[in-house]
């Protein structure tokens, strides 16, 4: 044989020389769950190693993560039921602990990149991402609330606004509101292809934000659809998105690749809670090597085309890299 691909695999030095993809901490946005109060660090049972943090302890955790090379974070609030209502007014209230936390984090660590979450479900008594009337999600009536939420988050210091709600037209509406209020330089990362997935369960446990009735299939994408993601991509580009995202990641690697091949915008992928939970479960049962499987999982997401990976494995992977040095 004249051609033997195995020659380039013979030693680690050779393999490293021709390695095409490498995952680093610069690729990550680390999702974190925030609660109001002090001295709180409660592990999410379905997501080992992930916690609900009060701000005082979250600041310590972020400092530790920065030392590991993680500089970008997305915050999700776990809101008490008595602060929720049908119109999610607490989402843009000056008293919102989530907004106060963002200000404090940016004051303490001005170098970090903070991403927000824009959707009604953490603040809605109905548990849906939009306004609900007679069991129907009201798309257009939801947009003004999303706009107020986004402006309040930009004012609080978030660097990237993250609309996860999947309402039609929300990127343009939010962009217009941000621009009109002096936040022209604040980026929007759109959840462009967010599927109605079975892999979100542990996240909803973490935030107690599951719908009180019905499901999200009328606004999140059908897992069977592929070309529809291109339609969502075209709309988001036209409406002013700065990043586009695919969620979940592992079961949608083809969609990540599809978007990467059809846009010049950075493509993000959300390695979601269920993907995290199933690896932990398999590792705890001795079925998989946690570190090796985690690394391969993240590599597959980047190889598919993701420029940015939102992952609960960020800290563990950063520790692994440090250990290997």
Q: Which residues contact 107 (CB under 8 A, 6 or more apart)?
A: none
Bridge-based pairing state of the strands 243-247 and 187-194? parallel
Q: Are 131 and 138 in contact (CB under 8 A)?
A: yes
Q: Check 84, 194, 216, 315 and give the catalytic one.
A: 194
- CA distances 92 to 83, 129, 148, Å, are 12, 15, 6
Q: How far is CA 314 from CA 47, 154, 195, 261, 311, in A?
A: 13, 25, 23, 26, 6
Residue 155 bears catalytic tag: no
Residue 251, φ and ψ in degrees, nearest 5: -80, 0
Alpha carbon dihedral 173, 222, 268, 189, in 10-degree steps, equals: 10
Q: Which is the catalytic residue, given 84, 247, 260, 302? A: 247
Cα angle value 311/91/276 (rounded, 5°): 15
Distance, C-alpha 7 to centroid of its chain: 40
Does the annotation mark 194 as catalytic? yes
- CB-based burial of residue 22 (10 Å sphere; 0-12 exposed, 13-18 middle, 19+ buried)? exposed
Q: Residues with catalytic annotation?
A: 194, 247
């Amino acid at each position: 044989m004249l051609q033997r691909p195995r020659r380039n695999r013979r030693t680690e030095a050779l393999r490293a020389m021709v390695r095409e993809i490498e995952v680093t901490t610069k690729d990550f946005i680390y999702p974190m769950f925030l609660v109001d109060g002090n001295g709180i660090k409660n592990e999410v049972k379905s997501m080992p190693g992930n916690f609900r943090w009060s701000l005082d302890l979250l600041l310590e955790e972020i400092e530790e993560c920065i030392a590991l090379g993680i500089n970008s974070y997305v915050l999700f609030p776990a809101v008490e039921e008595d602060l929720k209502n049908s119109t999610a007014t607490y989402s843009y209230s000056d008293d919102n602990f989530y907004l106060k936390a963002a200000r404090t984090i940016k004051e303490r660590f001005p170098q970090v990149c903070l991403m927000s979450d824009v959707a009604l479900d953490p603040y809605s008594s109905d548990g849906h991402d939009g306004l609900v009337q007679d069991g129907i999600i009201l798309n257009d009536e939801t947009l003004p609330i999303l706009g107020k939420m986004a402006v309040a988050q930009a004012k609080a210091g978030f660097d990237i606004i993250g609309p996860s709600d999947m309402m039609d037209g929300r990127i343009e509406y939010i962009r217009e509101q941000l621009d009109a209020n002096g936040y022209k330089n604040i980026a929007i990362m759109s959840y462009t292809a967010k599927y109605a997935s079975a892999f979100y369960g542990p996240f909803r446990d973490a935030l107690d934000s599951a719908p009180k009735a019905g499901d999200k299939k009328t606004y999140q994408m059908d897992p069977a659809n592929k070309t529809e993601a291109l339609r969502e991509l075209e709309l988001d580009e036209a409406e002013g998105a700065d990043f586009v995202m695919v969620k979940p990641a592992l079961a949608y690697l083809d969609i990540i690749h599809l978007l990467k091949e059809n846009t010049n915008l950075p493509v993000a992928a959300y390695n979601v809670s269920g993907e995290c939970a199933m690896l932990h479960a398999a590792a705890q049962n001795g079925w998989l090597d946690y570190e090796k499987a985690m690394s391969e999982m993240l590599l597959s997401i980047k190889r598919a085309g993701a420029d940015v990976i939102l992952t609960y494995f960020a800290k563990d992977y950063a520790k692994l890299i440090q250990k290997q040095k």
